[in-house]
Structure 1
């Protein structure tokens, strides 16, 4: 597995109002890997992701992405972010949406169509985005991100509400991107997706309770699956046998 860190987070602290959301978290994410960010709703996953892409105001600590401070100008063409809600124009077709983002980053219409085909939306390219299903909107939003060929791709719960077939197709795509050298950070609250990742960050109440490979996490907790491992860690923290 590659050892070069694409993302380095050091003692990151984020407050919302007077409430701490992230409590001095640190980690390194290797280039060319898929890292899963898992945890229940309200654990701080979206805040952590926004810190990586540079859209979150932080109280203290540092976030370096590809050797630059998160959100700075050198990263604009190298980092892509797919939000929970599809970031597309409802009054444009799938093709027009992706072509628009392609033009912003100096990509061709041919490359836009390749991105559309790559997420399985070729048969829907002429449909208005506003008329798409939830899963189709998610895939269109992903195509808009992929057309820039990002070195780092950050996805905030991209498979929520999708049927198993579409989820499987997206994860195959994520693995192919990592194999090609891209670095992916994928948030989820679905534990059965965890085994698809090279490494896991388990976030609870604003702190990492684990930062390990799926296999090592199961071995360390003496459990047969990752859901059991997660529960084991939570109970240990709470002093429950």
Structure 2
């Protein structure tokens, strides 16, 4: 993992986040290059949103450093350079789409022409005069995405922006994301839909608060010997579930087993636990038959 301030939009070093008594991250390291789409992928609850909040600077952290575009995360200097689209739409229900966007455009000093541009890009031109309260959940999410696209942010942090959208609209929005990246913007897009991995330049796959792969779509398939993103991710999870603690890089994730003791696997997901139980049940049936 490199650390080059000129090529990396985000640098995370030793990130430690605690939520109550739960350790979300214990020494997370990550670099995100400029001008690319980086996909944060993994099951719900794996830490994607917490990592994005840390990058934006709205997450309370217990330790470590997060540098964004050369500045500490959350710095005043980043307010117009970083856009964040949360899972919950952050718009006013009693205002129309156009009124919401005009209001937020003034807040970020975006040109008035940006309002029509982003409305077109998210496919809501025919609904521009409808109030937010009259929209569907997917349409409301698209308005929130449009707000994040106002101005010319260097970094867009998008938390599951395509959830609940039909395949055609998802494809159209990914086309918009690609255009933004080609124009020089950096995008961090989280998703638990693995086929969206193929649309990213770089993939960061997470599980239970840890990064289990930092790769590319081609690298993912080459490493797992698969051609299906869901199968590839499951392969990585299976490897991770039985991985031994190794070396200094693993030290931050927990103590290594003592000499002569078996390596303790990472806690299983519900699916893994169910599959393991089914496997044990079939094995018992075979031994008694």
Q: Specify the TM-score bucket, using the shorter chain as the normaliser.
A: over 0.9
**Structure with more of its chain in strand, by fraction:** 1
Q: Measure, in 1, the Cα distance between the counterparts of 2:26 and 2:167.
A: 34
Normalised to the residue count of structure 2, the TM-score between the two structures is 0.80
- How big is the shift at 1:118? 2.0
Q: Residues 83-98 of structure 1: matches in 2 within 5 Å?
A: 83-98=86-101
- Residue 224 (1) aligns with residue 233 (2): no
Which residue of the partner structure matches residue 44 of structure 1? Answer: 47
Q: Measure, in 2, the Cα distance between the counterparts of 1:216 and 1:108.
A: 40
- How big is the shift at 1:179? 0.5
Does structure 2 retain, via aligned residues, the 8 Å contact 1:80–1:150? yes
Which residue of the partner structure matches residue 106 of structure 1? Answer: 109
- How big is the shift at 1:45? 0.8
Which residue of the partner structure matches residue 164 of structure 1? Answer: 167
- Residue 53 (1) aligns with residue 30 (2): no
Q: Measure, in 1, the Cα distance between the counterparts of 2:145 and 2:133.
A: 16
Q: Measure, in 2, the Cα distance between the counterparts of 1:136 and 1:216.
A: 35
Q: Measure, in 2, the Cα distance between the counterparts of 1:192 and 1:108.
A: 35
Q: Measure, in 1, the Cα distance between the counterparts of 2:185 and 2:132.
A: 27
- How big is the shift at 1:96? 0.4
CA deviation map 1:122-154 (0-9, x unaligned): 111111011111221111111111112211000
- How big is the shift at 1:108? 3.1
- How big is the shift at 1:75? 0.1
Larger CA deviation: 181-190 vs 126-135 = 126-135
Normalised to the residue count of structure 1, the TM-score between the two structures is 0.95
Which residue of the partner structure matches residue 131 of structure 1? Answer: 134
- Residue 186 of structure 1, aligned match among 185, 189, 193: 189
Which residue of the partner structure matches residue 177 of structure 1? Answer: 180
- Highest RCO, 1 vs 2 (Cα 8 Å, sep ≥ 6): 1
Which residue of the partner structure matches residue 6 of structure 1? Answer: 9
Which residue of the partner structure matches residue 82 of structure 1? Answer: 85
Q: Measure, in 2, the Cα distance between the counterparts of 1:217 and 1:114.
A: 35
CA deviation map 1:186-225 (0-9, x unaligned): 0100001111000111110100000011111111122222
Two-structure CA RMSD over aligned residues (Å): 1.5
Which residue of the partner structure matches residue 157 of structure 2? Answer: 154
Which residue of the partner structure matches residue 19 of structure 1? Answer: 22
Larger Rg: 2
- How big is the shift at 1:238? 2.0
4+ aligned runs moved over 3 Å, structure 1:
none
Does structure 2 retain, via aligned residues, the 8 Å contact 1:39–1:203? yes
Q: Measure, in 1, the Cα distance between the counterparts of 2:201 and 2:111.
A: 33
Aligned length: 239
Unaligned runs of 5+ in 2: 1-5, 243-275, 277-289
